[in-house]
Amino acid sequence: MLTVHIPSPLRSYTKNQAIVEASGKSVNELLKNLDGAYAGIRFRMVDEQDAIRQHIRIFVERQPVHNLSMELKGNELVHIICALSGG
């Protein structure tokens, strides 16, 4: 299982859980499995062209994710970061 840190703006999908567990052999599979458990969360991170949204950053063991096909070992720590904006 992967340990996934969920940012505050997305915690409404996880019933306010800051840390959840999920599985996946790739980042894409992980996000799909998260969406299966927490409906709608994937769309907030990935657009219609299967690209990570501009305001989202995903890190696996401190390595930035640039491609959803990045392979996972199954025991990594995953951080999802949301950029904040305002004016």
Instruction: Encode pLDDT of 32-65 as tens digits.
Output: 999 999 999 999 999 999 999 999 999 999 999 9
Going by pLDDT thresholds of 50, 70 and 90, the confidence category of residue 86 is low
Distance (Å, whole) CA 76 – CA 86 = 32
Strands 77-82, 2-5: pairing kind = parallel
The pTM of the full predicted model, rounded to 2 decimals, is 0.92
71-81 confidence digits (pLDDT tens): 999 899 999 99
Sheet-wide strand order for 19-22: 19-22, 2-5, 77-82, 56-60, 63-64
Q: Which residues contact 73 (CB under 8 A, 6 or more apart)?
A: none
